[in-house]
Structures are given as structure tokens and as C-alpha cells.
Structure 1
Amino acid sequence: MMELCCLIDCGLVCLGLGALCFLTSYLTRKTKEIRGKHVLVTGGSSGIGLSVAQQAAAKGANVTLVARNVKRLEEAQMAVEKTIHKVGGANKVQYYSVDLGGDVNAIGEMVKEAEKSFGPIYMLVNCAGLSIPLKFEDISPAQVKTQMDVNFFGSFFVSQEVVKSMKQQNEGIIVFISSLGGLLGLYGFTAYSASKAAVIKMAEALHMEVKPYNISVTVSFPPDTDTPGFVEENKIKPVETKLISEAAGLFSADDVAKKLLADALSGEFMSTSGIDGFMLTTMCAGMSPITSITSFFSQVFLMGPFRVISAFYLWQFNSIVKKEYQKRVSSKKSE
């Protein structure tokens, strides 16, 4: 009986400390300022990247957009300029057409040119990415390479160029876009999940390297987001993948971008949207950097319960896969 009372007392003490730390962290949380600073956004011609660019511009940042399609870049530049005009700002926006999965030297030249125009890059947001959801045996070597080139290597090499300048300035923010698919391997995402998981480990290692230079690293884990890229991937997505991903709902690019920007400016390592995103990032934190007391205590207290809940999710996902498999078998027998 006495042991039970001690356990209850310890639990209450932990909860009290957790609540106190949460309140302290909330009241003392500092947000960095990007007004007048240079923000470079890859994949900035549409989707989450364009939303980030617009919101950064609304905060007074000079924005550089990077993507491949010149026409879309021109349209994105006009959209950002409208945002600046709406808030009465004097900041500027420029763009560069670069294939981030291609020539590394071209990436280096782009960074140099961008910094000549707007000064040192203070914040880099790696939004460029793509998904080709197919069954494992149906993915071609070229499609696997394309996803790794854009999702991983593109972010790696741009960040590598930018971090040199950030170290000289002794300040900066680097944001990577992973995915909930980078935390959870799903049917149809064998290549995509691998490329996005690689981004997470790169970010964790980089965070440790650049911390002494006053440079923060944030990884965003968006759920399914209403973007042109999402529309394209749905055209070829296996039915199992569609049914599984629908469970988390569909978020707007503006909402994801707003959360991403707020977390990055506050120095959070992990950023996500929605209940499922919160559960996955908490449960999969592992040895990720501790950047706030709030997130740390959430991980300590909720990892166990969330693992139990995840068992139900996995059962549901596997049931979907089994059901669709049985449908195909029945269809073949009836032919």
C-alpha cells in the first residue's frame, strides 16, 4: 500500500513538474525576427513552398524563390509581390530556375548570385520534393533515383552551400521538409519514405554540427497537403495508399506553412500539423535534438500510450491491404 502511495506521489510530482515546465517554456519562448532578412525557399513556385514564401514576405523578409519551371516561378513572384503590396512592405522577391536534382555547381552559383542581390541567406527552407507512389516492383530505377535526387540530395547540396555563409554570419535557420511518410513506412511509399527518412537523419546530424554557430535546424513533417504535387501523385497512387492516407485528412498548404514558419522561428526541431502528426513526431522522437522543455516532456510521458494507439492504426492499415488483396484474388478467380 505504501509503495502504491509512493508511486502515485511520484506521478503527481512528475505531472506538476511537467505542467510547470510547459508554462515556463511557453512564457519564455523567444521568436526570431526575419524582417529585412534574406529567406530562400526551394520549391517556392507552388504548394507549401509558395505559402512559406508569401508568409515570410508578409513578415518583411526579402525572398528568393527557387524551382525549375520558369513560368510558375514568374507567377509565384507576382503572388509574393501582391502579398508585399497588401501589407505595405518595401521588401523584394526574386527567383532562380535551377534543377536541384541536377548539377551541383549550378546550385552553388545560384546561392552566390542570390546572396549578391539580397545579402547573406538568414533562413533556408527546403520545400522542393516529389512523390511517386507505386508498388515496390513497379518503381523503375529512374523513379527511385529521381526521388532521392530531389528529396534528399537537392536539400543536402543547397544546405551545404548556404551553411558556409551562415557560419560566417554566426546565425541562421535551416528548414527541411520530410513527411509523415518519413516516420512511417506505408504501402506504395517504399522509395519515397526512404528518401524522406534520410532527410531526418541528415537534419539531426547537421543540428549537432551547426548549433555552436547559432544556427538552428527544423524538420517539418507535413500530413497530406492540398498542393499541385498531391494532385499529381493521386493520379497514380495505389488504392491501398489512398485509403490509408485518407485517415489523417487533408490540410491546406497555408496552414502547414504557417506552423512550419512559427516552429522554425521559435527554434523547434520538429514541426507538424494535426493530431496524427503530433502523435507520430512524439512517438518517433528517439534521439532527436531536445529544443524545448515542452516537447521533451510530451515525448517522455506520451511515447508509451501513443505506441499502444499506433498498434490500432497498424492493424487498420494492414486490414485495408488484406481486403484489397482479397478483392484482387476474387476478381481473378471470377475471370
Structure 2
Amino acid sequence: MGSYFSKNQFPVNGQTILITGGSTGLGLNAGRQLAEKGANVIIVARNVGKLKEGIRYISKCACSPETQRFHHIVADVTTAPECARVVAEATEWNGGCPPDIVWCCSGSAHPTLFIDTPIDQFQTMMDSNYFSCVYMSHAILNAWLRPAIDASAATKETEPQAKAAKPTPLPARHLIFTGSFVSFYSFAGFTPYSPSKAAIRSLSDSLSQEMNLYAAAHPDLPRVRVHTVFPATMPTQSLEDENRVKTDLTKALEEGDQILSPELCARRAISGLESGEELVPTSTIIWAVMTSVMGGSVRGGFWRGLESTVGGWITLIVMVFIRWEMDSKVRKWGAEHGSSGMVKKE
């Protein structure tokens, strides 16, 4: 599943890439950098004005503007019918072929203390973060895999076919989710949000293994690779919106968090994809915490697996002290300022 010495495992020149949440932040910058590498890009979001601006921003960096194509789709990807419509529209625009790569970047956060969170926000977090990935992956995987499954079933109902020669491997297709630091380790104030991101990591792990079934049963199909990117905190409008509802306690616990621009996050994410990583951290802190909780996740070859294992041993010890320190901060905060999570007014 990749090594330090492997070739580019995420070639995009001439490929069509669909990015949900592609009008801002990580999605927008990923689209621009993939266009620089020769990809045709489709971005999906709710705001048509931002989508049009996004297409202009992305297309300016096309490495072959005379042949590359760009498109936007207005959609709410928190519903299954909309995700199916997006894939159908993208397929029609792409000459009858589904996109080669789908990157789910859409999502939202409402970081508040659990009992202070409006009850509808729990469903909103799951819809915008987890179910948007579930519905989009269900739609695109059916587009990629269902024709071969149906054709295989039809063939079995007729006379047996002669064993075909081993097919020439085709470029892999890629399904990419977007997680978060809190997919691995959450803390006070992120309780409404972190389960939806942890669920994405679990979805990625199980789908990654499930794709081996189709690769073995249908060797003439392009292999499907499943990845999750874990971006660092980015100074975007979304972060500003989060900070308006975030408690002082949560902000204090976040001190020391690594901040990266969306452009740098996208560059690191794409680099990880090119090296064959299935779980792609974009900062040292995220990598360290990820190694301590990888469990049965694919580790990307012997050397990367060895590195993550050793890193995990070290981080496991460090995390004991980090959890103790953060618990101490929370208890001290409660004693000094009360349970609101805000600094007590004098």
C-alpha cells in the first residue's frame, strides 16, 4: 500500500475530480492545486456565487487551459437524493463517465458544551459531516462498481466464459474523506462535533477493506482506494464562525494548536495521497496522535508502518500526561469560573 520509495500513487493529469465543499477553504485550495497538476475539476457547494468565484480561482492555474475543463454544481450534499443527483450530473458533464476521484470536503462544526448545545445541532453535525460522506460515497461507489457487478451476474446466468488473460492495471479511482484532529482525540467543547468526525475515520477503514472484495472479483476494473485527510486548524471563515460559539474554556484547551493555511494543508494532503497514504495527517501533532490510535488501519507499507508503530509507542506514553494536564485545566477552570465555560465576569 505504498512506501517511501514508491512512485506517485495519486496521478491526476487528465482525471476528473469532484470536490464537495469546493468553494472555500481546503476544498477550494485542493481544487486549485489539482488543476495545476492537469486535473479537470468539479466543485460542489450550496452558494452559487462562491462556486462561480471558486471556478475562476481554480481555472486560472490550469496547466493545460486549452484542454482542461471546470464545472460547478449547486447542491446540499447532506441528503442522499442530492448526492445521487450530483454524481449523475457530473457523469453527464464528463461525457458519460463518472468522476475518477471524489473528495468529500464539506462539513461544519458547532463547538459548544454538550448540555448547552441546541438539540438539533447533534443531527446537523452528523448530517453535514458524516452522512454527507456516506451518501456521496454510496452514490459514487455504485457508479463505479454496479455496472461490473450487474454484468458479472448476467454472465453467470449464461454459458461459462473462457478464462480471460490477466488485464492491464488501470489507474486507481480514489474516494477521499476529510476528518479532523478530533477524529482521534476530543476534548471539552467538541462533544457535539467529534463523534461525526470519528465516524468518518471508521467509515474509511471499513470501506478500505471492503474495496479489496471488488478488486479481487473484478480485476478488469480500476481499483478503488479509500483515504481520509486530517487537516490542521485553518484560519478560515468557518473557524471565525466556530469561535463565536466556542467557550473560553475550549479556546484555552486549544492553545498551542498548530495553525496552517488552507493552501499548505491542501499541499500536504495531496503529497500524502501521492505517496500512497490512506490516513493522511497534515501536521506533526495530528500524525503523533493518530499513530497512538491506528489499531487495524492500513499503515502504508513496512517502513511507514514501522515509523507509525514506534511513534505510537512514544505518543501513548505522552498522551497519559496530556490527558492528565487537560483534565487538571478543566477542573481548575470549573473551580475558578463555574460551569459555563466562560471567564467569570467581575
TM-score, scaled relative to structure 1: 0.86
**Taking structure 1 as reference, are residues 332 and 226 closer, same or farther at Cα in structure 2, changes over 3 Å only?**
closer
Q: Which has the higher contact order (CA 8 A, sep 6+)?
A: 2
Aligned pair partner of 1:277 in 272, 278, 286: 286
Aligned pair partner of 2:235 in 214, 226, 230: 226
SS at match of 2:176: strand
* Deviation at residue 306 of structure 1 after TM alignment: 1.0
Given that 2:6 and 2:275 are in contact with CA atoms closer than 8 Å, whether structure 1 keeps it comes out as: no
Find the counterpart in structure 2 of residue 115 from structure 1: 91
Q: Which amino acid aligns with 1:105?
A: P
Same amino acid, percent of matched pairs: 26
* Deviation at residue 87 of structure 1 after TM alignment: 6.6
Find the counterpart in structure 1 of residue 46 from structure 2: 68
SS at match of 2:174: strand
Q: Provide Cα deviations, 1:216-270, integer angstroms capped at 9, x if missing partner.
A: 1111112211222112101111112112223222111111111212222333111
Find the counterpart in structure 1 of residue 111 from structure 2: 133
Q: Which amino acid aligns with 1:100?
A: V
* Deviation at residue 114 of structure 1 after TM alignment: 0.7
Work out whether 1:158 is the aligned partner of 2:167.
no
Find the counterpart in structure 1 of residue 82 from structure 2: 106
SS at match of 2:120: helix
SS at match of 2:254: helix
Aligned pair partner of 2:124 in 138, 141, 146: 146
**Taking structure 1 as reference, are residues 77 and 308 closer, same or farther at Cα in structure 2, changes over 3 Å only?**
same
Q: Provide Cα deviations, 1:94-133, integer angstroms capped at 9, x if missing partner.
A: 111111113x212211211111112321111110011100
**Taking structure 1 as reference, are residues 327 and 25 closer, same or farther at Cα in structure 2, changes over 3 Å only?**
same
Given that 1:173 and 1:264 are in contact with CA atoms closer than 8 Å, whether structure 2 keeps it comes out as: no
Find the counterpart in structure 2 of residue 54 from structure 1: 32
Q: Which amino acid aligns with 2:82?
A: A
* Deviation at residue 323 of structure 1 after TM alignment: 2.9
How many angstroms apart in 1 are the aligned matches of 2:123 and 2:228? 22
Q: Which amino acid aligns with 1:111?
A: V
Q: Structure 1 stretch 311-320 or stretch 132-141: which is displaced more?
A: 311-320
Aligned pair partner of 2:57 in 79, 84, 92: 79
**Bigger proportion of residues as helix:** 1
Q: Which amino acid aligns with 2:91?
A: E
Alignment length, in residue pairs? 310
Find the counterpart in structure 2 of residue 26 from structure 1: 4
Q: Which amino acid aligns with 1:225?
A: M
**Taking structure 1 as reference, are residues 89 and 241 closer, same or farther at Cα in structure 2, changes over 3 Å only?**
farther
Instruction: Give the aligned CA root-mean-square deviation in angstroms.
Output: 2.3
Q: Which amino acid aligns with 2:92?
A: K
* Deviation at residue 332 of structure 1 after TM alignment: 11
SS at match of 1:220: strand
How many angstroms apart in 2 are the aligned matches of 1:92 and 1:64? 9
**Taking structure 1 as reference, are residues 126 and 253 closer, same or farther at Cα in structure 2, changes over 3 Å only?**
same
Given that 1:48 and 1:227 are in contact with CA atoms closer than 8 Å, whether structure 2 keeps it comes out as: no
SS at match of 2:61: helix
* Deviation at residue 32 of structure 1 after TM alignment: 3.0
SS at match of 2:41: strand
Find the counterpart in structure 2 of residue 16 from structure 1: none
Given that 2:3 and 2:304 are in contact with CA atoms closer than 8 Å, whether structure 1 keeps it comes out as: no
Find the counterpart in structure 2 of residue 9 from structure 1: none
TM-score, scaled relative to structure 2: 0.84
How many angstroms apart in 1 are the aligned matches of 2:3 and 2:270? 18
Aligned pair partner of 2:302 in 293, 297, 300: 293
Q: Which amino acid aligns with 1:91?
A: Q
SS at match of 1:121: coil
Given that 2:234 and 2:262 are in contact with CA atoms closer than 8 Å, whether structure 1 keeps it comes out as: yes
